[in-house]
Amino acid sequence: MVSAASLSADFVTWFHQVGRDYPWRRTRDPYAILVSEIMLQQTQISTVLDRGYYARWLERYPDFATLARAPESEVLKTWEGLGYYRRARNLQKLAQVIQSEHGGVFPTEPAAIRALPGIGPYTAGAIASFAFGLAEPIVDGNVARVLSRLDNDATPVDSAVGSKRLWERATELVQATEDPRALNSALMELGQTVCKPRQPLCAECPVKKHCRATEPESLPVKGNRTEITEVTERVVFVQTGQGILLEQETGSRRTGLWKLPALPATGEAALPPVLMKTSYGITRYKVTLWVHEAPLESLAWPESHQFIPLAALAKTAMPSPYRKALDKLLQHAAFRLEG
């Protein structure tokens, strides 16, 4: 078997030749790197970059101190469109811990990084290697695919044994190089561009001479398949001279955000007229969203509901599915008024 040092060297050489230029690769600032890592969880690079989320965030919150003292509602609004809003809250909580417990300075020791709230093994390894050049491993979906194929390992990557093997292999490789930052970047880059889930470009692989995979598309193996659950959600659209009626969410991953209010309980036969129907996905759910009319005189709205003036809607943090539905409804209403 080829030595870890030789394999790592091939990865590093390849990355220095073809590695893509991302803004977080031009810095050693742990804060900027942390922001990129949190944003890229569950979100594609094209969304984070091409739609300007990364640049806008760093412009508004350039450091831990600025983020730590920002109003949560403003933070959620800045994050709007990226989804999984718990990430934004956790990022702000971490910034507050850095300010209050570390004097505003991000720790450099791996153990101290791992001890920070909301920092898992992958994020800890990413910051340690990308910001500080430490020989700390990373394993995400791309890296797991590359390593599983490289070793032709059919052990389910989501099993305890499979996860342990992947982290041990990643550790072996990163400790065998003098450039951990490039090695970890190469593993991720290869999974994104060459060692793809379907139709991998094996002929272009810089480590193909070392790869033992006989059927690369069959790897990695996952033991647990996520089943998609169909969900029906019914909300109401109410517009008055005061603005649009919205409901502030509590007790969920979207706590603090505003949405179209849930339709009060009613029998199927008594459902009010439908204004629009759309759908969206979130984690393991496929949601069909029905927007209904709501007669004002028959409904008493709780304190969690407020009329938001039209002029304030743009600054109101709102999950993307509701923002898109509301924009369409308002456009339609404006069209009818003009007509």
CA–centroid distance for 198 within its chain: 22
CA 60/CA 302 separation, integer angstroms: 34
The structure tokens listed for 63 are: 């450091």
Residue pair 200/216 in contact (Cβ under 8 Å)? The answer is yes
Residues 85-106: b if buried by 16+ CB within 10 A, e if exposed:
bebbbebbbbbbebbeeeeeeb
What is the enclosing helix (H) or strand (E) of 182? helix 180-193
* C-beta of residue 306 within 8 angstroms of C-beta of residue 245: yes
CA 52 to chain centre: 15
Q: Quote the tokens at residue 201.
A: 């470009």
Neighbours of 17 (CB within 10 A): 8
- Annotation marks residue 215 as catalytic: no
18 CB-contact burial (10 Å; exposed 0-12 / middle 13-18 / buried 19+) = middle
Distance set, CA 275 to CA 70, 157, 234, 329 (Å) = 37, 45, 11, 8
Choice among 37, 136, 247, 249 that is catalytic: 37
What region, left, alpha or beta, does residue 39 occupy, with left being phi > 0 and alpha being psi -120 to 50 degrees? Answer: alpha
Contact 330, 315 (CB under 8 A): no
**Which residues are annotated as catalytic?**
37
